Amino acid sequence: MAEDDLSAANRESGAPSFDFDDDAISSLLDDFVETRTGPQAKRVSRPPDPSDPGAQAAQRTVFPHTACHEALPLVGDTPQTRGRRIELLEGLAERAVGSARARLLSSAAELHEQLGNDEAADRNYTDALAADARDVVVLRALRRHAMRRDDWAAAASALDKEAGLELSVSDRVSALKLLAHVRLSKLGDAAAAGQAATRAAGLQQGDFVASILAASAGLARGDATRAAEALADAAEQWPDAEAQAVMLLHAAQLTESTNAPDAAKVAFSRVVELQPALLAAHLGVIRASHDLGATDATREALEAAAEHSSPSVAAALLRTVRGPSEDTATLWTLAEAAALAGDPQRAIETIERMSGQSPELRAVSNARRARLHAERDDQAGYEQASHAAHSEPRLGAYVQAWRLLMTADTEDGSTVPGLLETVSDEAASASSSVARADDAARKGDGAAFIAALQREADESPDDLAAAAALAIAEVADATGATNRRTALLRAEERAPANPWIGRALLLDDEDPARRAQRWTGEGRATAGARSAFAFTMAARLARPGTEAAISACEDALKEQADYWPALWEIEDNLGSLDARAASAATQARLDPAEAVSCTLRAALWAPSVDEGGERLARTRAALNHESPDPLLVEHLFEAAGGATETGGDLMVATARQLDLLPYLERAAAAYRSAGLPGRAAKVLREASLASPDDEAIRVQRKDAELHASEFARLADSAMRRAREATDDAERLGAFCAMAEVDRLARRDMQSARLSLQSIAELRPDHIPTARALEWDALREDDPERIRSSAHRLSEALPADSADRLARHRLVLELLKSDPDTTQTDVDRLLCSI
């Protein structure tokens, strides 16, 4: 639907409204049920004895049994029941307009979906949208429908419309975040996703998910500046300093890639503040300072990085601070850098500056210089360097191979392997392997290149084997000769139990059991938070509930007792009920702000069959009596057994702290269930004082006082109501209460008779009172009172009542049985009837 159509729909739609009233709805429902169950038979019975509560209950409840599906045709989950609900909803929708019609049709459409009627569902959704295109319930139903069908364009459209409604900020932000996710991950529209995420972040400052979505959208469309800004915003919203540093480092690197050294330096400096020992952040500050031409700042950054680095790294950094050095390691590095930069002359000059070397190292330096001369086709330089290199016989093959670089007939390099094949096994040392590797690299033969490197690594000392194997694995993966995992597994065979190779395989090994073992080994090889993280990863990879998984989490907590991920893992997946309860209790101690919820979880994890009262004890420990938490109160009530004296005491205390009457009512119910009607009555009297006009509380209080046999209190209350009554209705209610107490509870018919007579004088047409007086006269076998009460009842009953005719007959029989009655009296009575 176009925006103009939406605007028009918005102007026309309003609050849900029907064009029929409640009577029309009731009539429609009655007709609907009547057509499926048949007319309900009317039941007529004689009135029960007013003094017999059992008879009254029986008349209300005893009826012929009717099957549930006949009496309640709309209740249930069968296809037939859902079909009837659809028919009813569509029938109601025909009489509704606007939002009400749209919601009814949406409900019918969802039922059609459940039955697999996709065409009918689509039709109802279309009609619902036409009825009100801006109803949030309809739009959400349409979004769910579109997502179930993988129609992500329609889902995005519904979400966009929902986000444009006048909803709460949280609802709009939720819609925008989901819209950004759908556009980014399902539709591949990074620009639109970024707009939605930015709108969400603008509506609700500090929303971590919105910032992450904005950063992801920025990366997807190549906008490193926007991605860095969003990522930095997300980092500032995360409470953990280590996680903040990771995100800010990524943001700083993105900023650096945009050639903005000023902003990059600020970003890297922020990371250094959070993690002073993070070398990558220090190097970022160094690079940014160098790019800005700030020599002093660069030197200070180098010295700061050296303070937090290992001895070898610190030495290298400090050499850089001191300036150019003439030590062999520095000169060799400078020479290789010049060679890679395409400046072989500078590389040669740097090698020639080396001094104080061992004979073997001088031979290697000369061999490297011979190759550089050969690459420049410098015959004289090559001859001089190769002659100096021959002091080390093992380098002979290497030096001879580079002579061929200067011959015109070896442009394809085909003679190099031939030469190497003539080399004896003794001479086929690391140098020949290097020559083979260089030859393979020049021709782009990845397999041969890796094979040559592998031969070289096989000859390397054990202390260098692991590093060589790791390097070969990375090169093999880069050249496509083999995948990284296979190369790393081969490297592990060459250097078993090496921690560096094990770490490289932590994420590449596809075998969960091996990965769990590797993480366990990493945990044992490290300490602190890093060790705890490794043990937790091992626990997640192990089979849930096994001894290995639980043991790994326990090891993590031994390394760092407050390591939250391990605590979460134990509570969520791994531990026994006792272990989960202990984990939640530990979290409560670590985080006072969430102590209530954590303690509540600890109580919930405690065994339900709790002889030692652990659940009750844990919950009580978290309860703040000055400001009780409602959720904790509910759990404590349940843990205490609910309908007990302890539960009642808890509800009373909570009601007084929170000033909530429902807690007093629940306390009274608990006391009554515990066999303490007197305490229930006392609590309800307190509730009546707080809410004197609440009829429900008054009835409950009266019932509790009856059960507590507090008849005097009931009588006083009724008498007070009668005195304070302002109209006949209130006075009638008070007299009825007094009569009920005297007649049914106290069994004092004399007092009850006085109250009933007062009611009869006040309301001669009050049928219950007339029946009660008649029953009392029959019980006393007083003909005069029987005739008087029967006459009073016949006057009160409706003219078409069968009971009225029966009373007339009773009066007639009583009149005939009286010897003082004349025929004239009988005729007069018959004439009046």
Highest mean pLDDT among 295-304, 478-487, 746-755, 791-800: 295-304
Q: Which sign, positive or negative, has the C-alpha torsion 314, 318, 319, 324?
A: positive
Least confident of 295-299, 319-323, 711-715: 711-715
Tell me: pLDDT of 481 over 60.
Answer: yes
Q: How many residues does the chain have?
A: 833
- What is the distance between the alpha carbons of residues 683 and 690, in angstroms, rounded to a whole number? 11
Contact 538, 519 (CB under 8 A): yes
Tell me: pLDDT of 44 over 80.
Answer: no
User: To the nearest 10°, the Cα dihedral for 162, 165, 166, 171?
Assistant: 10
The range of the structural domain enclosing residue 490 comes to 431-500
The per-residue pLDDT for 514 is 79
Between 539 and 765, the higher pLDDT residue: 539
Domain assignment present for residue 582? The answer is: no
Same domain as 622, residue 544? no
The per-residue pLDDT for 669 is 76
For residues 428-432, give the mean pLDDT.
Answer: 50
Contacts of 61 (CB under 8 A, 6+ apart): none
Rounded to a whole number of angstroms, the distance between the first and last alpha carbons of the chain is 76
Nearest alpha carbon to residue 598 among 609, 585, 611, 607:
585
Contact 481, 510 (CB under 8 A): no
Please give the DSSP secondary-structure letter assigned to residue 759: H
- What is the distance between the alpha carbons of residues 614 and 491, in angstroms, rounded to a whole number? 53
Identity of the residue numbered 211: S
For residues 781-790, give the mean pLDDT.
Answer: 67
Tell me: pLDDT of 365 over 60.
Answer: yes
Same domain as 653, residue 515? no
Instruction: Measure Cα distances from 189 to 180, 186, 209, 742 in Å.
Output: 9, 8, 18, 81
Same domain as 520, residue 491? no
For the stretch 687-742, pLDDT in tens is 777 777 777 777 777 677 666 666 666 666 666 666 666 666 666 666 666 666 65
User: To the nearest 10°, the Cα dihedral for 559, 561, 562, 567?
Assistant: 90
For residues 170-197, give the mean pLDDT.
Answer: 90
> Angle, nearest 10°, between helix axes 614-622 and 595-605?
170
Q: Which of 166, 193, 218 is the last residue of a domain?
A: 166
Backbone angles phi, psi at 96, to 5 degrees: -110, 165
What is the token pair recorded at 800? Answer: 């078409």
Domain assignment present for residue 97? The answer is: yes
Which ranges in 459-483 belong to alpha helices (H)? 462-479
Same domain as 1, residue 105? yes
What is the token pair recorded at 56? Answer: 């009254």
For the stretch 151-178, pLDDT in tens is 899 889 889 988 888 888 888 998 999 9
Mean pLDDT over each residue of the chain, to the nearest integer? 73
Domain assignment present for residue 642? The answer is: yes
Same domain as 526, residue 442? no
Same domain as 88, residue 8? yes
For residues 429-455, give the mean pLDDT.
Answer: 64
Domain assignment present for residue 807? The answer is: yes
- What is the distance between the alpha carbons of residues 397 and 389, in angstroms, rounded to a whole number? 11
Tell me: pLDDT of 347 over 80.
Answer: yes
Please give the DSSP secondary-structure letter assigned to residue 102: H
For the stretch 260-276, pLDDT in tens is 999 999 999 999 999 99
Identity of the residue numbered 605: W
- What is the distance between the alpha carbons of residues 480 and 464, in angstroms, rounded to a whole number? 24
Which ranges in 116-189 belong to alpha helices (H)? 118-131, 136-148, 152-163, 169-181
Residue for token pair 């759990």: 635
For residues 781-796, give the mean pLDDT.
Answer: 67
- What is the distance between the alpha carbons of residues 346 and 335, in angstroms, rounded to a whole number? 7
Between 445 and 272, the higher pLDDT residue: 272
Domain assignment present for residue 248? The answer is: no
What is the token pair recorded at 640? Answer: 């205490």
Question: Which helix H or strand E contains 96, and what residues bound it?
Answer: strand 96-97
Tell me: pLDDT of 551 over 80.
Answer: yes
Least confident of 125-134, 147-156, 656-665: 656-665
The per-residue pLDDT for 255 is 92
The per-residue pLDDT for 262 is 92
- What is the distance between the alpha carbons of residues 481 and 474, in angstroms, rounded to a whole number? 10
Give me the residues paired with residue 96 across strands.
18
Same domain as 793, residue 665? no
Cα–Cα–Cα angle for 329, 324, 361, rounded to 5 degrees: 25
Percentage of the chain lying above the pLDDT 90 cut = 7
Cα–Cα–Cα angle for 756, 761, 767, rounded to 5 degrees: 60
- What is the distance between the alpha carbons of residues 799 and 791, in angstroms, rounded to a whole number? 13
Domain assignment present for residue 478? The answer is: yes
- What is the distance between the alpha carbons of residues 464 and 460, in angstroms, rounded to a whole number? 6
- What is the distance between the alpha carbons of residues 701 and 694, in angstroms, rounded to a whole number? 11
pLDDT interval class at 677 (50, 70, 90): confident
- What is the distance between the alpha carbons of residues 204 and 210, in angstroms, rounded to a whole number? 9
Same domain as 800, residue 675? no
The per-residue pLDDT for 745 is 54
Highest mean pLDDT among 138-142, 472-476, 799-803: 138-142
- What is the distance between the alpha carbons of residues 663 and 686, in angstroms, rounded to a whole number? 12
Tell me: pLDDT of 330 over 80.
Answer: no
Contact 545, 578 (CB under 8 A): no
Nearest alpha carbon to residue 821 among 809, 831, 811, 833:
811
Highest mean pLDDT among 230-244, 254-268, 370-384, 711-725: 254-268
Tell me: pLDDT of 64 over 50.
Answer: no
Same domain as 136, residue 20? yes
Same domain as 623, residue 536? no
Tell me: pLDDT of 13 over 60.
Answer: no
The per-residue pLDDT for 781 is 66
What is the token pair recorded at 347? Answer: 């590389």
User: To the nearest 10°, the Cα dihedral for 200, 204, 208, 209?
Assistant: -30
Domain assignment present for residue 833? The answer is: yes
The per-residue pLDDT for 679 is 79
Same domain as 537, residue 471? no
- What is the distance between the alpha carbons of residues 597 and 589, in angstroms, rounded to a whole number? 11
- What is the distance between the alpha carbons of residues 104 and 79, in angstroms, rounded to a whole number? 19
Domain assignment present for residue 275? The answer is: no
pLDDT interval class at 89 (50, 70, 90): confident
3-state SS, one letter per residue, for 763-831: CCCCHHHHHHHHHHHHHHCCHHHHHHHHHHHHHHCCCCCHHHHHHHHHHHHHHHHCCCCCHHHHHHHHH
Between 646 and 303, the higher pLDDT residue: 303
Cα–Cα–Cα angle for 756, 762, 765, rounded to 5 degrees: 85
Is 606 exposed, middle or buried, given 0-12, 13-18 or 19+ CB atoms closer than 10 A? buried
Count structural domains, the chain.
Answer: 5
Contacts of 320 (CB under 8 A, 6+ apart): 302
- What is the distance between the alpha carbons of residues 53 and 367, in angstroms, rounded to a whole number? 115
The per-residue pLDDT for 638 is 64
Tell me: pLDDT of 753 over 70.
Answer: no
For residues 390-406, give the mean pLDDT.
Answer: 67
**In the structure, how many helices (H) and strands (E) does the chain have?**
48, 2
Identity of the residue numbered 289: S
Between 193 and 640, the higher pLDDT residue: 193
- What is the distance between the alpha carbons of residues 616 and 606, in angstroms, rounded to a whole number? 9
Q: Which of 166, 188, 212 is the last residue of a domain?
A: 166
For residues 86-111, give the mean pLDDT.
Answer: 83
Q: Which of 120, 147, 166 is the last residue of a domain?
A: 166
Between 566 and 778, the higher pLDDT residue: 566
Rg (CA), the chain: 46
Same domain as 662, residue 533? no
- What is the distance between the alpha carbons of residues 449 and 433, in angstroms, rounded to a whole number? 9
